[in-house]
Chains A and B, each alone.
Chain A
Amino acid sequence: MAELSKQYKSGINFYESKGGFGGILGWIFSTDHKRIGLLYLISILFFFIIGVSLGFLMRLELMAPGSTIMKPQTYNAIFTLHGVIMIFLFVIPGIPSIFGNFFMPIQIGARDVAFPKINLLSWWIYMAGASLAIISLFTGGGPIDTGWTFYVPYSLRTTVNVPLAVVSVFILGFSSILTGINFVTTIHWLRAPGMSWFRLPLFVWSIYATAWIQILVTPVIGITLLLTLLERLVGVGIFDPAKGGDPILYQHLFWIYSHPAVYIMILPAMGVISEIIPVFARKAIFGYKAIVFSSLAIASVGSLVWGHHMFVSGQSDLVSLIFSFLTFFVAVPSAVKVFNWVATLYKGSIELKPPLLFALTFIFLFSIGGLTGLFQGALATDVHLHDTYWVVGHFHYVIFGGTGFALFGGLHYWFPKMFGKMFKRRIPYLSWALLFIGFNILYFPMFILGWEGMPRRYYDYLAQFHTLQLISTIGSWVLITGLILMFINLLFSLFRGEMVGSNPWGGATLEWQIPSPPPKENFEEIPIVKKGPYEYD
């Protein structure tokens, strides 16, 4: 206790506190949830940049019909890798591993997670899986060309390095499961006195719901990929049609994970939005419990809609009907959240600071993405839209416009807390503008392209699609400029930003009641919580 007081009084924060090792070892062997959160931040952003670069190359190729800068096989490999990296290395770990790690323990009034060493192990496993994914580009037959979905039978036959890629994703799954176990245990047992379940910040609830999904469905893709690997290595014959296997069963198993995975991607993002909006409207969130239960509803019902990825696969009509119905059903809780966020803003005292700007953009872009999803959820229209550019537009709006922008918002919101500095205040507006304009120019044409019949994953296309493809590529350049500007500003502010106190935004959750950056043990004394997370003066 005296030790903690000393730390507090001398202003030692978690960057400066001396642990077992010094220098970089003090980081990569640290069990401090804040350091681990930052390790994830650096590594995840690194892979994000690789993913963006691959997307940039894809857009260059698609700028004109025929070959522009690469051969067809290369294009197939690039879009596969773009998907694998963005999904498994960026969006799925993204917000939970960065902000969940850094802030969830503080928000519940704890000193760390339940299993700090396993937390570190999760990061190491993430790095191992990510490294193997990159290595698979250069070894054993070359980079995979199956699409990130690894559908059989092609993934069984293609001569590229499917085994290593599949192993890397399997390993990444472990990281996800361990993080999930850690977070559920932490939230159950390490809440501070007075921090009852319904006083938890909504970000914590979103991390909680996400963690359950991570624990329960990740093993299913684990076994699916393991079987695919066994199939290739020893010919087990479970998915191989030549041996009686059913490729549609592969799709069932694959999507039993991969659909809930998109809720792993979006629930934490929604949690971030639920944090930001009350603070910058200076008003308690509207319908706290509705948002809590909608998160749990999305997690549970969302586990039963996977077949909507398979409407044209050859599955039975009846099951397609069932999945379609459940899909419309699961859209409701998401809509509830959107209504509640907007209701929170109503008659609020609004400050359009960058975090709120990103949060509002989330609501706009996610809603567009969500609405276009309805067209896919309806059987008749999906027949027309499946595997076209419409789908590509849809998921980029919900994942990038959704989770991506929520991550950027969270980054700006929590930047002063993590680093003790404020970013240059005006540049985010400019970078936001470039991001927003670029994003829409890049992705909106895809709805039109898809509606007009252009298939996805195609290297070449008919001349009639050229104009929109060109516009889309130009959008990518604007978007990337915005990204570069945003990251440069944040990086610059990291070193030259003005120092900031513990609560620059006037938040009421626990992380704003401790110094910026936080001390190693988070709190001098574990707080006794007496009020809810969104009560402002």
Chain B
Amino acid sequence: MANEGSSSPISEKIYFLVWLELLLLTGATVSIAGMNLGRWGICIALLIAGIKSGLVLSYFMHLKYEKQLRLFKWMVPGVLVLLILFIGLTFFDVVLR
């Protein structure tokens, strides 16, 4: 009964691997900031941040292995979509005034 829901005891190796990936991505985002990419700069920065968050959510927070809380595999991206819609609609105002 101890492991119902989030079965497969996650080997700590995976945690270390994820941590390394996070550090790598941090390094990447810092070095990319040194280049002059204009408007693409923020898109790439947000993309990398999104990937890092995805790693934390899937592995550290176990969403990838959740059997019973599958709802949140949808709701977390769903909430992000909602935020993007909020920002998007607000931008339809601010940009075109």
A–B contact via C-beta, under 8 angstroms: yes
- Cβ < 8 Å to A, chain B residues 48-97: 71, 79, 82, 85-86, 89-90, 92-97
B93:A319 contact, CB within 8 angstroms: yes
Nearest residue, chain B, Cβ from A306: B89
Q: Which residues of B contact A252 (CB under 8 A)?
A: 90, 93
Q: Known contacts A249-B90, A304-B89; is A318 also within 8 Å of B82 by CB? A: no
Which chain A residues lie closer than 8 Å to B94 at the CB level?
246, 249, 316
Q: Which residues of A contact B71 (CB under 8 A)?
A: 188
Interface: A315 (CB within 8 A): yes
Question: Which residues of chain A are near B90, meaning CB under 8 Å?
Answer: 249, 252
Residue pair B93, A315 in contact (C-beta under 8 Å): yes
Q: Is A316 a contact partner of B89 (Cβ separation < 8 A)?
A: no
Provide the residues of chain A in CB contact with B85, threshold 8 Å: 303-304
Interface size class of A (residues with CB under 8 A): 10 to 19
Nearest CB in chain B: distance from A382 CB, A: 16
Which residues on A sit within 8 Å (CB–CB) of B92?
A: 316, 318-319, 322
Interchain CB contact under 8 A, B89 and A319: yes
Partner of A316 from B79, B82, B86, B96 at Cβ < 8 Å: B96
Q: A216 contacts B93, CB within 8 Å?
A: no
Within 8 A of B (CB), among A373-410: none
Task: List residues 2-61 of chain B with CB under 8 A from any CB of chain A.
Answer: none
**Mask of A314-329 contacts with B, CB within 8 angstroms, 1/0:** 1111110011000000
Q: How many A-B residue pairs have CB under 8 A?
A: 35
Q: Which residues of A contact B82 (CB under 8 A)?
A: 216, 303
Interface check A435, CB cutoff 8 A: no
A248 at the interface (CB under 8 A from B): yes
A110 to B90, CA, bound (A): 42
CA distance A493 to B79 in the complex (A): 47
**Cβ–Cβ < 8 Å partners of A188 in chain B:** 71
Q: Specify which chain B residues have a CB less than 8 angstroms from the CB of A315 in the assembled complex.
A: 93, 97
**Is residue A277 contacting chain B, with contact meaning CB distance below 8 A?**
no
Q: From residue A182, how far is it (CB to closest CB) to chain B in Å?
A: 16
- Asked whether A248 and B93 contact (CB < 8 A) given A216-B82, A303-B82, the answer is yes
* B96→A256 contact, CB < 8 A: no
A315 to B92 Cα, complex, angstroms? 9
Is A307 located at the chain interface by the 8 A CB criterion?
Answer: yes
CB-based nearest B residue for A212: B75
Min CB gap B83→A, angstroms = 10
A322 and B88 CA atoms in complex are apart in Å by: 12
B95 to chain A minimum Cβ distance, whole angstroms, is 7
Q: A314 with B89: in contact, given A216-B79, A216-B82 (CB under 8 Å)? A: no
Q: Would A319 and B96 be within 8 Å (CB), given that A252-B90, A256-B86, A304-B85 are in contact?
A: yes
Question: In the complex, A216 Cα to B78 Cα: how many Å?
Answer: 11
B-chain residues with CB within 8 Å of residue A303 when the two chains form the complex: 82, 85
CB contacts (< 8 Å) of A317 on chain B: these are 96
Is A322 touching B89 in the complex (CB atoms < 8 A)? yes
Q: Is A314 touching B79 in the complex (CB atoms < 8 A)?
A: no
The CA of A303 and the CA of B79, in the complex, are separated in Å by: 12
Alpha-carbon distance between A428 and B93 when the two chains are bound, in angstroms = 50
Smallest CB separation, B90 vs chain A (Å):
5
Find chain B residues with CB under 8 A from A304 CB.
85, 89
- State the A residues within 8 Å of B (CB): 188, 216, 246, 248-249, 252, 256, 303-304, 307, 314-319, 322-323
10 A-B pairs with least C-beta separation: A316-B96, A319-B92, A315-B93, A319-B93, A316-B93, A316-B97, A318-B96, A252-B90, A318-B92, A256-B86
* Contact sample, A vs B, 17 pairs, CB 8 Å cutoff: A188-B71, A248-B93, A252-B90, A303-B82, A304-B89, A307-B89, A314-B97, A316-B92, A316-B94, A316-B96, A317-B96, A318-B96, A319-B89, A319-B92, A319-B96, A322-B92, A323-B89
**Further contacts, 18 of them, CB under 8 A, given A316-B95, A322-B89, A323-B89:** A188-B71, A216-B79, A216-B82, A246-B94, A249-B94, A252-B90, A252-B93, A304-B89, A307-B89, A307-B93, A314-B97, A315-B97, A316-B92, A316-B93, A316-B96, A318-B96, A319-B93, A319-B96
